[in-house]
Amino acid sequence: MLEVKKLNKFFGDNHVLKDIDLQFESHKTTVIIGSSGSGKSTLLRCINQLETPDSGEISWNGMTLDFSKKVPKSQSQAFTKLTGMVFQSFNLFPHRTALGNIIEAPMTVLKKSRKEAEEEAMELLRKVGLEDKRDSYPHQLSGGQQQRIAIARALAMKPEILLFDEPTSALDPELEADVLNLIRELAEEKYTILVVTHNMGFARDVSDEVVFVNHGTILAKGSYDELSSSDNERIKQFLSFF
Ligand SMILES: Nc1ncnc2c1ncn2[C@@H]1O[C@H](COP(=O)(O)OP(=O)(O)O)[C@@H](O)[C@H]1O
Ligand SMILES: [Mg+2]
């Protein structure tokens, strides 16, 4: 289980995450929803240690980061390694091919040989349905293809937790489906998955739980059906846009 306890994050005077308590069960998919600026990205970035929380704890299967003290670098790096993150804007290395993007971290961080890294990368390219694009550069790929390469790149580090931050917000609906179907497959493979998305169809069909973030607090957590039948005015108003 991934557990977040009394987590706080400030940017200057801006109190962005306010005593967040959340539990994410292993092998389950949680969809995170909420208005722009509510703290969804910051929450994911705190979990993978792109941001350092100001207080609270994050733990995973017995390993705990306690932000009331200075967290040793080795511990926060272990957490980064545990998590694979996929961003809205793909963030591929523009001057590397699809294959080059996928083998980069396994070679530099995990010290794999080029041969081993390439073999694993080819397997991942097959998995995301882009075997024939191994030598293409990002600018030669559609947004949906770029995002599937970004997912393959994240998987190459063998993470246990997958974090998706609006993975389809930059895509046309047609391309969005390819990416969401891939995430659905990963959910079926029992990764532990957190997805920030505005796609309520995906939330309904794939999520085990939905978390509603509102101004840096958790307003609700439950099944999609529970949230969609909530009496809470804020939740009703938010869902009425979809
Ligand atoms: N690196 C940063 N520096 C300063 N403020 C930030 C930074 N990242 C996010 N914020 C602020 O934190 C708040 C939450 O942002 P974010 O987590 O990106 O929200 P969401 O992903 O829900 O749209 C916003 O007020 C945003 O301006
Ligand atoms: Mg965001």
CA of 41 to the centre of ligand 2 (A): 4
Q: Which residues lie below 8 Å from residue 69, measured CB to CB, with a gap of 6+?
A: none
| Banded model confidence at residue 241, pLDDT cuts 50, 70, 90 | confident
Ligand number, closest to the Cα atom of 211: 1
- Looking up tokens 């075997």 gives 131
Question: Does ligand 1 come within 6 angstroms of the Cβ of 37?
Answer: yes
Return the ligand number nearest the Cα of 36. Answer: 1
> Residue 228: which CATH number?
3.40.50.300
**Residue whose CA lies nearest to ligand 1 atom number 8:** 42
Tell me the percentage of the chain whose pLDDT exceeds 70: 100
The total number of structural domains that make up the chain: 1
**Whether the model pTM is above 0.85:** yes
Q: What number of other Cβ atoms are within 10 A of residue 65's Cβ?
A: 21
Structural domain of 57: 2-239
Is residue 151 over pLDDT 90?
A: yes
Q: What's the pLDDT score for residue 203?
A: 95
